[in-house]
Amino acid sequence: MLPEKLREDFPALKRLRNGKPVIYLDSACMSLKPRQVIEAVREYYELYPACGGRGRSQHWFAREVKEATERAREEVARFINATPEEIVWTKNTTEAINLVARSFRLERGDVVLTSDREHNSNLVPWLELERTRGIRHEVVPAREDETFDVERLKEMLSPKVKLVSVVHVSNLDGYALPVEEIVEVAHDYGARVLLDAAQSVPHRSVDVSRLEADFLAFSVHKMLGPSLGVLYGREEALRELSPFIAGGDTVSDSYYERAIFLPPPHRFEAGLQDYAAQIGAAAAVRYLTRVGMRRIEEHERRLTQYLSKKLSAIEEVRFVGVRDARLRSGIVSFRLERHGRSLVAPSDVAELLDRHYNIMLRSGDHCLHAWFNARGIGASGSVRASLYLYNTREECDLLVEGIERIVEVEG
């Protein structure tokens, strides 16, 4: 297990309410921030709160901003084994995916394939392109056990498929898709591959040179950093994209008749950037690197199996998604049911845990409306506990205790 002392780095964990400590189990949405990241952001605002950019003549503060943000791009690139030229700053994973969707050369009749467990961020953009540009969006159905069906993907691939866009690790249940195999078979058909890595980069070692995906999107705010997103793209793949948002800092020169765009990544980073967030991203990457991504992954896997085993002893618990805990990591989603009917609504479970135990987790559809609707569950969704490096077995025990009490009282 990871050392207990690292929890001391997270100020939010020191808060008390009604004399009880914080139990934060919502890191799949947004992680807590260590003091090292908070201090890095504060340093920017206190010491050199100026514009960066690529002006020909820069003053003292501007040079400091430029140096700090260039180092941040290098550190984030190194974290996933990319080059700085392959890292594009975005607001979040959603914007990164939309950048590819809106800039990738797709024509009427071209096909985009996704899995059936995509977050709305990797579903709705393709539905919009289907509606407005006549592309075809097709869904690869899961196997009966809810795992990804590579054989079905192979059957659906054809020369018309231009892009395969799938989640790396699902925000529903922490299940990791076989992305290495997906990338290989998609490339065999000449299709590009985009990975939604919002739930993988923060929790496991991700090496883009080994994965060989063309694009990969993730969010820094899910990995101890500020609200910021990243799009990785192989240099060749990024050069195929048109500018997403045009304007200041995307061009090297302009005339009344035309503009000359900068090469990637700068052509995609229009206007004043969130310099503090970029600097904070570097601090988050340094923190995670120091702890060790393999240690974090193993810690979460053990906690996931421990929590799953404890919850499975409660008769009313029904796990959502892949049921085999060995195939899940970091996320445990469940419902409380009896005789095939909901015993306590997921929203009520979350509210009771928050009110009586200070346990903060998420309930609802987790932006996976299509997955829940296809299975007849609807908007009530599930209760989702998402774990990270600062969580402990003792917190899992308190969650189980709370669920047992809810079943006893409400059932």
pLDDT of residue 371: 97
CB 335 within 8 A of CB 348: no
CA 320/CA 384 separation, integer angstroms? 9
Instruction: Give residue 318's pLDDT.
Output: 96
Does the structure show a pLDDT above 70 at 347?
Answer: yes
Mean pLDDT of 40-65: 88
Q: What was the pLDDT predicted at 52?
A: 87
How crowded is residue 101: how many other Cβ atoms within 10 Å of its Cβ? 22
pLDDT tens-digit series, residues 237-278: 999 999 989 999 999 999 999 999 999 999 999 999 999 999
pLDDT of residue 56: 61
DSSP 287: H
Backbone angles phi, psi at 193, to 5 degrees: -130, 130
Among 380, 347, 392, 371, which Cα is nearest to 146's? 371
How does DSSP assign 27-46, residue by residue? TTT-----HHHHHHHHHHHH
* pLDDT tens digits for range 97-150: 999 999 999 999 999 999 999 999 999 999 999 999 999 999 999 999 999 999
pLDDT of residue 1: 67
Q: Is the pLDDT of residue 4 over 90?
A: no
Q: Cα(168)–Cα(7) distance, rounded to whole angstroms?
A: 28
Q: Which two tokens stand for residue 408?
A: 């006893």
pLDDT of residue 251: 92
By C-alpha distance, which of 145, 91, 93 is closest to 123? Answer: 93
For residue 374, what pLDDT is reported?
95
Decide: residue 85, CB within 10 A, 0-12 exposed, 13-18 middle, 19+ buried. middle
Per-residue confidence at 323, pLDDT binned at 50, 70, 90? confident
Rounded to 10°, the helix 293-312/393-410 angle is: 30
Mean pLDDT of the region 299-327: 96
3 has a pLDDT exceeding 80: no
- What is the per-residue pLDDT across 277-309, written as a single tens digit (0 to 9) for each? 999 999 999 999 999 999 999 999 999 999 999
Give the class (CATH, top level) of 37-290. alpha beta
Q: What is the pLDDT of residue 317?
A: 97
Q: Give the pLDDT band (50/70/90) at residue 58.
A: confident
Residue with tokens 């896997």: 301
Q: What is the mean pLDDT of the chain?
A: 96
Q: Please identify every residue annotated as catalytic.
A: 367
pLDDT at 17: 94
β-pair type (20-21, 259-261): unpaired
CATH of 4-30+292-410, one of 3.10.310.10, 3.40.109.10, 3.40.50.720, 3.90.1150.10: 3.90.1150.10
Running DSSP on this structure, what letter comes out for residue 268?
G
Mean pLDDT of 331-355: 95
**pLDDT score at 378:** 73
Domain ranges of the chain: 4-30+292-410, 37-290
| DSSP code at position 288 | H
Count Cβ atoms below 10 Å from residue 263 Cβ, excluding itself: 11
Per-residue confidence band for 50, with pLDDT thresholds at 50, 70 and 90: very high
Confirm if 28 and 333 have CB atoms less than 8 A apart: no
- Of all residues in the chain, the percent with pLDDT exceeding 90 is 93
Dist. CA 77–CA 208, nearest whole Å: 10
User: Do residues 226 and 274 lie in contact, with contact meaning Cβ atoms separated by under 8 Å?
Assistant: yes
DSSP-derived secondary structure for 338-370: ETTEEEE-HHHHHHHHHHHH-EE-EEE-TT-HH
Confidence of residue 210 (pLDDT cuts 50, 70, 90): very high
> What integer is the mean pLDDT of 362-381?
92
Residue 277, both tokens: 């967030």
**Range scoring the smallest mean pLDDT among 296-300, 376-380, 382-386:** 376-380
Contacts of 385 (CB under 8 A, 6+ apart): 25, 307, 331, 332, 333, 361, 399
